[in-house]
Amino acid sequence: MAAITQYATGKRKSAIARAWVTAAAGDIVVNEKPLEKAFPRMTLRNVIQFPFELAGVAGKYSVRATVYGGGPAGQAGALRHAISKALVVMSAAFRSPLKKEGLLTRDSRVKERKKYGQKGARKRFQYSKR
């Protein structure tokens, strides 16, 4: 019997993650690299594995993912979003804890654009009285 594989897309800032979650004990592979090589920082690895721990199925699913755009933090958030969405499709029982923690909602916060006549998005040039 073949293991069931579920596909989902996750986004965060300008990063996009495509994840294939398989119901077979395995590891997480991101861009053809193991998780430890793709995300050297422990905090980012914890962000990615958080949906599994919350659902109580840590180590029971394997993930193959491709991530592009943005930086490491945005990519980790995008991958977490994709994994959460795939887990919900695999089993409706996971929906309640993941939704309560806010993992199924796309974090829409992105960098605000720079405006003309200003130094940045909000910062103005220094005002000179005389």
Lookup: tokens for 1: 């019997």
Helix (H, G, I), strand (E, B) or coil at 9: strand
HSE-up of residue 27 (Cα within 13 Å, Cβ side): 9
Residue range 65-107, pLDDT digits in tens: 999 999 999 999 999 999 999 999 999 999 999 999 999 999 9
Lookup: tokens for 115: 């405006």
Residue range 22-71, pLDDT digits in tens: 988 879 999 999 999 999 999 999 999 999 999 989 889 999 999 999 99
pTM exceeding the 0.85 threshold for the entire prediction: yes
pLDDT at 122 over 60: yes
